[in-house]
A and B are shown apart, each in its own frame.
Chain A
């Protein structure tokens, strides 16, 4: 029998083994999109709302790298600025639902009595409300815009995190290290937050990464049907909606770019999320 010994490799090679080439590609795509969106005010070649009626529906060229829309606005600049809105929503939802879900999941998984059962039932119930439906109900209540859907989707994604955290905590609870801390008389909050929580982060992180893609697609869809961001603010979904007239007239590019970016980002996020969950040992599947 041979023993495989993994020697630490020198230099950058070490990081090469960290992720598969596909995940590196996905990470690069995500990084470029985030960078361009984040620094849009500095990097964008044009004012995204500058209307140039002499230059309507121009193709890609030196002046406008990706062309212009039906009002002569620079598509690249609009994509970059729209990215700020498109990425901000999912970021808030994912952070909110992860924090809330972790807390609820920890409580539900740790308490052996009725509390865990009640919380488990609550998660089951929340699963019956699809996120997009919850977002639309919230918009009907609080009006159009990003506030209502972000609030609703944060709640809608809590059970995905919480149920996972709960099942992980139940498994952790019976492991020797937890028993040892208990026997030694460490306080429960310290054990749970200081020792159990860190063990949940990788798996929950993978789930939350996947959630990011779904939220981004749903928020873009809401903007697309006119219930999300309202003009003059724009995001990728709203850009596709604005371009429908041009599309039916045979000008595909104004709708193509934002659609491509949405799909690219969702694919990239999925690839990263799946890579993460594979590394943890496929606990998500």
Chain B
């Protein structure tokens, strides 16, 4: 396997960190450790996101009001709203406390609570990411399994296609899909999110494909190499010699064991999908969180940008923790610390 495609998975854990073989960790301790790491990571990430504003030199009130008329009343109001006259740590605690209680501040452009703006945009993004996830799972697993079970030409052909597909940035894929399926063939719309139900899915098909292309290739490659590794194992040979059909050997003995590495990349995948949705939603005129992020940067609405960055980072850390917690259920050796992924 080559380093995973567009977004590299973090380098393997350091040898020094690996626990000694056979030294089992109790499940409760394992879960507690992971949860503690989650809280700690979220805390430090919130520090980074909040204090990033302090990197900009000059008056913070004027920074928050860039591009708008800095009338004295407006400056005063923003100072009061953000508590800019208070010490930095108090501002941070107020911000964090607000976020934990669902008060995410007010948007300057929408003159609404940030949480309301976000919630209004959330469904579109979730539907888009969900559809992309379906494509990634179905197409990625399918291509990976087919490549792994066909040696020779079929495998090579799929592998080369995957290498090429993995190198296509989502925005280029979006343009190519629009050129082919909207302008050329007229099968799918190139703009808007349509009405509910099937119309919505019809509108979201091209965006979801463009969003997912990198990860379809990534999942397919991980599946292929992971399955190739399993196919050579003794337990597969034993299952085959017991006379099980090829289908059930693949489903029960190969694919199930190959799931680990696929699951490992899903944290990177979710974060990547959310970030890339900024570009895809903009291209296809979908009013989701991603487009909101780009618009808020455009309209200098820093409070909204901060909130979205925090949401994406939190989603990434959360998914990674869930993956860490689910892994031992699939492969108990991980919790025991005898096998590190």
Q: Which positions in A face B, CB cutoff 8 Å?
A: 120, 124-125, 127-130, 132-133, 136-137, 139-142, 144, 159-160, 163-164, 166-167, 170-171, 207, 210, 213-214, 217-218, 220-221, 224-227, 237, 240, 244, 247-248, 250, 252, 255-256, 259, 262-263, 266-267, 270-271, 274, 277-278, 284-285
Judge whether A171 and B15 touch: CB under 8 Å. Answer: yes
A255 to B1, CA, bound (A): 33
How far, in whole Å, are A262 and B167 apart by their CA atoms in the complex? 9
Q: A167-B12, A217-B169 are in contact. List 5 more A-B contacts (CB 8 A).
A: A128-B317, A136-B294, A140-B297, A221-B169, A274-B2
Contact residue range for chain B? 35 or more
**Binary per-residue interface labels of chain B (6-49) against chain A in the complex, 1 for a CB within 8 Å, 0 otherwise:** 11101110111100000000000000000000000100110011
- Closest chain A residue to B11 by CB distance? A163
A247 to B169, CA, bound (A): 18
Judging by beta carbons under 8 Å apart, are B297 and A267 in contact? no
Please list the residues of chain B having a beta carbon within 8 angstroms of any beta carbon in chain A: 1-3, 6-8, 10-12, 14-17, 41, 44-45, 48-49, 52-53, 55-56, 163-164, 166-172, 175-176, 178-179, 182-183, 190, 271-272, 275-276, 278-279, 282-283, 293-294, 296-298, 300, 302, 305, 309, 312-313, 316-317
A285: nearest residue on chain B (CB-CB)? B1
Give which listed residue, A120, A166, A259, contacts B175 with CB less than 8 A: A259
Q: Which 4 pairs between the two chains have the least Cβ-Cβ distance?
A: A217-B169, A140-B305, A266-B167, A163-B11
A179 to B6, CA, bound (A): 38
Closest to B1 in A: A285
Are B41 and A125 in touch, CB under 8 angstroms?
yes
Instruction: For A247, give the chain B residue with the smallest CB separation.
Output: B179
Which residues of chain B are within 8 angstroms of A217 by Cβ–Cβ distance? 6, 169
**Docked pose: A118 CA to B6 CA in angstroms:** 28
Chain A contacts of B53 at CB under 8 A?
141
CA gap between A16 and B44 in the complex, in Å: 51
Where chain B touches its partner, the secondary structure class is helix
B297 in contact with A133 (CB, 8 Å): no
21 contacts between A and B (CB under 8 A): A125-B41, A125-B48, A130-B275, A130-B316, A132-B278, A140-B302, A160-B8, A167-B12, A221-B170, A225-B171, A240-B171, A244-B175, A247-B175, A248-B183, A259-B172, A259-B175, A263-B167, A263-B169, A266-B167, A277-B3, A285-B3
The answer to whether A163 and B10 touch (CB under 8 A), given A128-B45, A130-B272, A141-B52, is yes
B312-A240 in contact (CB<8A): no
Give the docked Cα–Cα distance between A220 and B167 (Å).
13
Q: A124-B41, A133-B313, A170-B15 are in contact. Are A267 and B167 (CB under 8 A)?
A: yes
Q: Knowing A130-B272, A141-B52, A227-B297, say if A240 contacts B167 (CB, 8 Å).
A: no
B52 touches A240 (CB 8 A): no
| A21 CB, min distance to chain B CBs, angstroms | 14
Q: A132-B275, A166-B14, A270-B163 are in contact. Are A220 and B169 (CB under 8 A)?
A: yes
**Contact, CB under 8 Å: A141 / B56:** yes
Say how far A102's CB is from chain B's closest CB, in angstroms: 14
Report how far A167 CA is from B12 CA in the complex, Å. 8
> Across the interface, which residues of A come within 8 angstroms of B298, CB to CB?
226-227
Nearest A residue to B180 via CB reads A252
Chain B residues with Cβ under 8 A from A263's Cβ? 164, 167-169, 172
Residues of B within 8 A of A124 (CB): 10, 41
Separation of A132 and B167 alpha carbons in the complex (Å): 16
Assess the A247–B6 pair: CB atoms within 8 A: no
Query: Which one, A240, A250, A284, contacts B172 given CB within 8 A?
Result: A240
Which chain A residue shows the least CB distance to B168? A263
Cross-chain contact B175 with A255 (CB below 8 angstroms): yes
B16: chain A residues at CB < 8 Å are 170
**Complex interface: chain B residues within 8 A of A141 (CB):** 52-53, 55-56, 302
